[in-house]
Structure 1
Amino acid sequence: MTQRQTPTVRRRRLALTLKQLRARAGLSAADAARRVDHDASWLSRIENAEVRPHPNDVRALLGVYGVNGDQAEAVIAVARQAKQRGWWQRYSDVLPDWFSTYVGMESEASVIRTYECQMVPGLLQTEEYARAAFEGAPVPMRRDEVDRQVSLRLERQTILLSDEPPLLRVVIDEGAVRRLIGGPAVMKAQIERLVEVSRQANIQILMLPYAAGVGFDGSFVILDFPPLPEPYPDAAEDRMVYVDTLTGALYLERPSEVSTYAAAYEQLQALSLGPPETRATLSKIAADLAI
């Protein structure tokens, strides 16, 4: 089977695991770091996924935490994977660091829940729609940059065709499908694409209609990650929220933050049309577009 392992997720999972194991051992960051001849700031950067530790350093930390045998080897294997290059790094000329992190996480998510109030989600865009969106972006791009961005977006979509595709759950505001990105012909083809893919078992698309009377003025994504197989010693739920801006992004991981966005997503789902009604409405919007 095609595996969608990424160094981004491995580095983040490793950071969470090392922090958990230190807490279980009852050690402060300063105490643990001192025992392996480092300072607390070094371990803090590792536990915040700011740096990729060498597997030998991971082995030393595990020894301090009393983790050995198969469990230790499983963690060290993840540390080695975290040092590999991701497929998206060949797009580094047009991919900012803050979005590179997201692409790596998206590539290995088991469930992707997204609410979009302005645009069709990138994972579901047609090539023509994506090109028109980049060409009309508020920050101008050169033609070659647009070409690279479109290629990256299309390559991201291949996760939906993998042997183990993620579950994609989308709530899209009616305004996003009525905004004529690229003109009527491009928009018609894009909406027809949404109708087509919404019939796939792993994809659900719900439309939040104007008639609902309420919405949410910011798009966001909730990513769930699958647990690593035993004997890896990390059984904690792994979920995060991604919110992007024009010049950066927020990665929210605190339980209170994640639960707030999860509750908002559930409310948006409840206010949306069901899958059959969404398909019927989208089909009517596409049919009404004059070409």
Structure 2
Amino acid sequence: MAPSSPTVAAWELGRRLREKRDEAGLSATAAAKKFGITAAYLSEFENGKKNIGEERLTALAEAYELDGEEAAELRSLRDEAGSRGWWSEYSALFSDELLRFFGYEHGAESVRSYDSAIVNGLLQTENYARAVIEAGAPNIRLAEVERRLECRLRRQHRITGSEPLHLNSVISEAALHQRIGGVGVLAEQLEHLVKLINTHPDTLDIRIVPFEVTGHDAIGGSPFLLMTFPTGKLPMLLWHETVTSKQLITDSLTIREHSLAHTEASKAALNREDSLNKIVSASRNLQG
């Protein structure tokens, strides 16, 4: 099971309310007018970006003719959505979109990731993560670097904590040789990967795509994550990063394309044992 996340709760609440609005035959414009709110506000809470007040939820439950059990479930989701996740402490540093990503990741049951040149953030050592952050934002103050680093390390509790995330991380072999932070930092990072693989065999699956592979659907692409959630009422969610943008994507076709790309990258990758051996070999080569 995944831990509670107000971000995930707000998304589920909004989706379920939208489904009930559709079943009631109300357009977004008609529903907004009926309940005395703007269409923009309706869209915000139906997409999980805002929580809904208790009185308004009660009015919606009555209008959509929800039975007592479902109304109680939605009230429970509303209460959960109203709490504050640990990531809210970093609202001054990150965009709303990135904060929502942290919330979804925290409440996810499983993640499939693809990274072409850098080890996934959930698997980074403190020194490696600091080097990545400093390289990505060379002009930010030291205090901000440390806060960003603190946030990244807190995200990693989903890997090592009591409610571990199931992570399938596909990484290009290039990441094993790109000397982020220098030789010592990279060597430490590779040793860390080996330790994680050996310590969390049931929840962590790291696969390396070797240089010998001639191509696959994700090659040359930017990093992405596919998240699934414990509740059966939420679809898969895509987080996609480029040099100029970071965004959450719910479009089913785009998600399907990335899911297929991850599957093909996984097929091109080494198996678990050979991937571990590849990491160990890269680590030994760094150490001379």
Q: TM-score, normalised by structure 1?
A: 0.91
Moved more, 108-117 or 52-61: 52-61
Cα drift, residue 30 of structure 1: 2.7
Cα drift, residue 117 of structure 1: 0.7
Moved more, 135-144 or 281-290: 135-144
CA distance, structure 1, for counterparts of residue 160 and residue 284 of structure 2 = 28
Q: Which runs of 5+ in 1 are unaligned?
A: 228-234
In structure 1, what is the equivalent of residue 212 of structure 2? 211
In structure 2, what is the equivalent of residue 253 of structure 1? 250
Cα drift, residue 49 of structure 1: 2.7
The residue identity in structure 2 corresponding to 1:59 is: T
Other structure's SS at 1:67 match: coil
TM-align CA RMSD: 1.8
The residue identity in structure 1 corresponding to 2:220 is: F
For residues 229-263 of structure 1, the C-alpha deviation after alignment (integer angstroms, 9 at most, x for no partner) is: xxxxxx43421100123454221112212111111
Aligned length: 283
For residues 144-182 of structure 1, the C-alpha deviation after alignment (integer angstroms, 9 at most, x for no partner) is: 111111111111111123332110000001111110011
- From the superposition, tell whether residues 217 and 39 of structure 1 become closer, same or farther in structure 2 (CA, over 3 Å): closer
Cα drift, residue 138 of structure 1: 4.7
Other structure's SS at 1:164 match: coil
Question: Aligned ranges for residues 79-118 of structure 1 at < 5 Å?
Answer: 79-118=78-117
1:224 matched to 2:225: no
The residue identity in structure 2 corresponding to 1:57 is: R
Maintained 8 Å contact 1:124/1:194:
yes
% same residue = 29
In structure 1, what is the equivalent of residue 270 of structure 2? 273
Question: Aligned ranges for residues 117-128 of structure 1 at < 5 Å?
Answer: 117-128=116-127
For residues 201-221 of structure 1, the C-alpha deviation after alignment (integer angstroms, 9 at most, x for no partner) is: 100000011111222321100
CA distance, structure 1, for counterparts of residue 241 and residue 51 of structure 2 = 24
Maintained 8 Å contact 1:224/1:238:
yes
- From the superposition, tell whether residues 202 and 23 of structure 1 become closer, same or farther in structure 2 (CA, over 3 Å): same
Moved more, 37-46 or 72-81: 37-46
CA distance, structure 2, for counterparts of residue 39 and residue 285 of structure 1 = 57
CA distance, structure 2, for counterparts of residue 150 and residue 250 of structure 1 = 20
Maintained 8 Å contact 2:2/2:106:
no
Correspondence for 1:243 among 230, 234, 240? 240
In structure 2, what is the equivalent of residue 16 of structure 1? 15
CA distance, structure 1, for counterparts of residue 115 and residue 140 of structure 2 = 23
In structure 2, what is the equivalent of residue 74 of structure 1? 73
The residue identity in structure 2 corresponding to 1:269 is: S
In structure 2, what is the equivalent of residue 168 of structure 1? 167
Moved more, 169-178 or 248-257: 248-257
Moved more, 89-98 or 100-109: 89-98
Q: Which runs of 5+ in 2 are unaligned?
A: none
Cα drift, residue 53 of structure 1: 1.4
For residues 25-67 of structure 1, the C-alpha deviation after alignment (integer angstroms, 9 at most, x for no partner) is: 2222233333323343432232233322112211211111110
Maintained 8 Å contact 1:19/1:47:
yes
CA distance, structure 1, for counterparts of residue 49 and residue 282 of structure 2 = 46
Moved more, 138-147 or 199-208: 138-147
Moved more, 251-260 or 198-207: 251-260
- From the superposition, tell whether residues 271 and 18 of structure 1 become closer, same or farther in structure 2 (CA, over 3 Å): same
The residue identity in structure 2 corresponding to 1:211 is: E
Question: Aligned ranges for residues 14-93 of structure 1 at < 5 Å?
Answer: 14-93=13-92
Maintained 8 Å contact 1:98/1:248:
no
CA distance, structure 1, for counterparts of residue 97 and residue 138 of structure 2 = 17
- From the superposition, tell whether residues 187 and 169 of structure 1 become closer, same or farther in structure 2 (CA, over 3 Å): same
Maintained 8 Å contact 1:226/1:238:
no
Moved more, 260-269 or 208-217: 208-217
